[in-house]
Amino acid sequence: MSTAAVADTRPYHHGDLRRALVDAAIRILEREGPSALSLRAVAREAGVSPAAPYHHFKDKGELLEAVAHVGWEALGDGMSAVQDGVTELSSLMTEIGVAYVRFSQDHPALYRVMYDTARDKDSLPEGMQDKEDGAYCLVRNTFRDAAGPDVPAVDIELATIAAWCAAHGLAEMSGFAQFNPLKEAFGGDAGFLRAVLSHLGMFQSKRGDPT
Amino acid sequence: MSTAAVADTRPYHHGDLRRALVDAAIRILEREGPSALSLRAVAREAGVSPAAPYHHFKDKGELLEAVAHVGWEALGDGMSAVQDGVTELSSLMTEIGVAYVRFSQDHPALYRVMYDTARDKDSLPEGMQDKEDGAYCLVRNTFRDAAGPDVPAVDIELATIAAWCAAHGLAEMSGFAQFNPLKEAFGGDAGFLRAVLSHLGMFQSKRGDPT
DNA sequence: GTCCGATCTGGACAGTGCTTAGATACAAAC
DNA sequence: GTTTGTATCTAAGCACTGTCCAGATCGGAC
């Protein structure tokens, strides 16, 4: 009945429980999916009582926000990683889009949490638009650098938002059964993604002409 | 008094409880949002015991599928309603897209349930692609009619999927705070939607040229 | 060393999805 | 018109959830 055995591995005051809880949540997400992500399961995974998380997060939603934040950072890293190898704008934007969709395919549960919290707040994470290192800014800056100084800022913004909508839409649906025939026609998943993103003209930096 | 007439109003104990449950669920969705949509709340709203729904739906997911089905039909109606007034292809596809996003704005909770169940099954509702009266088919047929016989079917399919991705992405994010400045710049919500959809070239019926 | 505030636990409450056993009401057979 | 059968519905209960509370425990300031 001694506490020694427990205290051996886990001291009463966890060093950085907040971080440990976020890590545990992501581990559960990757292992069992979003439906298994309960606060109690996270506490269990971290080896702590069900009430412990409430000393670090106001409620479950705040934990999910922290999880989503980690996800957005990882997504931004994945997107900026493709920048180095590509120089041409059209290829660059398409490859950034592919990296975006790939992330959603590699971490579907995390991606779902990211957008669930975004939908609840009706906003992408604050700071993504203003800060210079966010994933959203990466896209906008790429458009801005390529467009030159004579293109109005509003058109840059339009292109960014349109590209983001296209990438998100494709990310959410690229796994749908309806796409399978077309994937084969375009030589697999990668070819399919590039075909859709190219078709949507992600690389356009100006507003479409009225036809 | 024939049984057919009785079946019209209330054929069994409570009446058409299956239908009543779906209606109750939609009522709760519109009134209190997706987080309030529990099976027990639906049963309460319909005035039956918590276990009653299980005689009409295998589980909560099956109820949500039925709810989503109603939503898809309403969305299809909204999209096909704009067909009559517009003749030019580019305008037509844009207006169909606007109708799509408008539906998601008018029924955000229902739209969320529709895609939650779709994500769980990794598929848009079965039949939407094959049947001739589904919303998905409406878009594809519009592309096909406009493209003419010399355009390969695979390109029609690509255009349809790309347009669907764009519309869904925009539908999910059009309420995000990031869009507000741009909405003003484009003269309100409607102008903003048309600008994004036009920019994404929803009306293109051919695969983009390799640049 | 004593005290304080931050951290964590155990227990509890209302609510959830779902199951089971039994009650009820209608349809058809006699 | 009674009986039988079956679909429908209820009541009770299980394991689980998010959240709160009183109290135990610990690290650091005095």
When scoring A111, A178, A197, A198 by the number of chain B Cβ atoms within 10 A, the one with the most, hence best to mutate, is A178
Q: For position B85, what pLDDT does the model report?
A: 74
Q: Kindly state whether residue A167 falls inside one of the protein's structural domains.
A: yes
Residues A126, A148 within the same domain: yes
Residues A123, A31 within the same domain: no
Q: For position B134, what pLDDT does the model report?
A: 86
Residues B190, B87 within the same domain: yes
- pLDDT bucket at B130, cuts 50 / 70 / 90: confident
Q: What is the 3-state secondary structure (H, E, C) of chain A?
A: CCCHHHHHHCCCCCCCHHHHHHHHHHHHHHHHCHHHCCHHHHHHHHCCCCCHHHHCCCCHHHHHHHHHHHHHHHHHHHHHHCCCCCCCHHHHHHHHHHHHHHHHHHCHHHHHHHHHHHHHHCCCCCCCCCCCCCHHHHHHHHHHHHHCCCCCHHHHHHHHHHHHHHHHHHHHHCCCHHHHHHHHHCCCHHHHHHHHHHHCCCCCCCCCCCC
Looking up residue B45, the CATH number of its domain turns out to be: 1.10.10
Interchain CB distance below 8 Å, A199 and B201: yes
Is any atom of strand D within 7 angstroms of residue B44's beta carbon?
no
Q: State the average pLDDT over residues A95-113.
A: 97
Identity of the amino acid at B141: N
Q: Kindly state whether residue A7 falls inside one of the protein's structural domains.
A: no
Report the b/e string of A131-148 with b at 16+ CB within 10 A: eeebbbbbbbebbbebbe
Contact A94, A203 (CB under 8 A): yes
How far apart are the C-alpha atoms of A121 and A113, rounded to whole Å? 12
Residues A131, A202 within the same domain: yes
Lowest mean pLDDT among A115-129, A165-179, B75-89, B171-185: B75-89
Interchain CB distance below 8 Å, A199 and B158: yes
Give A59 CA → C2 C1' in Å: 35
Q: For position B2, what pLDDT does the model report?
A: 34
Q: State the average pLDDT over residues B60-75.
A: 97
> Has residue A190 got a pLDDT over 80?
yes
Residues A53, A102 within the same domain: no
Q: State the average pLDDT over residues B143-159.
A: 90
Closest listed residue to residue A71, CA positions, set A38, A26, A28: A26
The DSSP output letter for B46 is H
Q: For position B204, what pLDDT does the model report?
A: 58
Is any atom of strand D within 7 angstroms of residue B51's beta carbon?
yes
Q: For position B132, what pLDDT does the model report?
A: 78
Identity of the amino acid at A33: G
Looking at the 3D structure of chain A, how many domains does it have? 2
The 10s digit of each residue's pLDDT in A115-165 is 999 999 999 998 888 777 789 999 999 888 888 889 999 999 999 999 999
Looking up residue B125, the CATH number of its domain turns out to be: 1.10.357
Among chain A residues, CA nearest to B165: A169
Q: For position A11, what pLDDT does the model report?
A: 56
Residues B37, B104 within the same domain: no
> Which two tokens mark B103?
């539906």
Identity of the amino acid at B54: Y
Q: Kindly state whether residue B62 falls inside one of the protein's structural domains.
A: no
> Has residue B1 got a pLDDT over 50?
no
Q: For position A83, what pLDDT does the model report?
A: 81
Q: For position B128, what pLDDT does the model report?
A: 86
Give A38 CA → D15 C1' in Å: 14
Residues B102, B171 within the same domain: yes
Report the C-alpha dihedral over residues A196, A79, A102, A65, rounded to 10 degrees.
-120
> Has residue B190 got a pLDDT over 80?
yes
Contact A207, A107 (CB under 8 A): no
Q: State the average pLDDT over residues A49-53.
A: 97
Interchain CB distance below 8 Å, B161 and A168: no
Q: For position B200, what pLDDT does the model report?
A: 87
- pLDDT > 70 in chain A, percent: 88
The alpha-carbon gap from B189 to the nearest alpha carbon of chain A, in Å, equals 13
Residues A93, A192 within the same domain: yes
> Has residue B209 got a pLDDT over 60?
no
Q: For position A133, what pLDDT does the model report?
A: 79
Give chain A positions within 8 Å (CB) of B185.
154, 157
Residues B163, B93 within the same domain: yes
User: Cα angle vertex A173, ends B211, A178, to 5°?
Assistant: 95
> Has residue B6 got a pLDDT over 70?
no
Contact B80, B122 (CB under 8 A): no
- Domain span at residue B128 reads 71-211
Report the b/e string of B158-194 with b at 16+ CB within 10 A: bbbbbbbbbbbbbbbbbbbebbeebbebbeebeebbb
Q: Kindly state whether residue A2 falls inside one of the protein's structural domains.
A: no
Chain C nucleotides with an atom closer than 7 Å to a protein C-beta: 6-12, 15-21, 24-28
How far apart are the C-alpha atoms of A39 and A25, rounded to whole Å? 8
Q: For position B206, what pLDDT does the model report?
A: 44
Q: State the average pLDDT over residues A49-68.
A: 97
Q: State the average pLDDT over residues B141-156.
A: 89
Give chain B positions within 8 Å (CB) of A164.
169, 173
The 10s digit of each residue's pLDDT in A7-16 is 334 555 667 8
Interchain CB distance below 8 Å, B158 and A195: yes
The 10s digit of each residue's pLDDT in B46-62 is 999 999 999 999 999 99
> Has residue A24 got a pLDDT over 80?
yes
Angle formed by the axes of helices A153-173 and B189-199, nearest 10°: 70
Helix (H, G, I), strand (E, B) or coil at B53: helix
Nearest to B165 among A128, A170, A177 (CB): A170
Residues B205, B107 within the same domain: yes
Nearest to A200 among B128, B162, B179 (CB): B162
Angle formed by the axes of helices A17-32 and A39-46, nearest 10°: 110
Give chain B positions within 8 Å (CB) of A129.
178
Q: Kindly state whether residue B130 falls inside one of the protein's structural domains.
A: yes
Is any atom of strand D within 7 angstroms of residue B60's beta carbon?
no
How far apart are the C-alpha atoms of A75 and A72, rounded to whole Å? 5
> Which two tokens mark A4?
């020694």
Q: Kindly state whether residue B7 falls inside one of the protein's structural domains.
A: yes
Lowest mean pLDDT among A31-40, B35-44, B133-142: B133-142
Q: For position B10, what pLDDT does the model report?
A: 44
Domain boundary among B30, B57, B84: B57
C-alpha A1 chain-centroid distance: 45
Residues B133, B97 within the same domain: yes
Taking all atoms of strand C, which protein residues have CB closer than 7 Å?
A 12-14, 17, 43, 48-52, 55-56; B 3, 6, 11-13, 38-41, 50-51, 54, 59-61
Q: Kindly state whether residue A169 falls inside one of the protein's structural domains.
A: yes
Among chain A residues, CA nearest to B88: A211
> Which two tokens mark B134?
């589904």
How far apart are the C-alpha atoms of A150 and A185, rounded to whole Å? 40
Q: For position B16, what pLDDT does the model report?
A: 87
Residues A21, A95 within the same domain: no
Is any atom of strand D within 7 angstroms of residue B169's beta carbon?
no
Interchain CB distance below 8 Å, B166 and A161: no
Domain boundary among B12, B30, B57: B57
Q: Kindly state whether residue A202 falls inside one of the protein's structural domains.
A: yes
Contact A156, A140 (CB under 8 A): yes
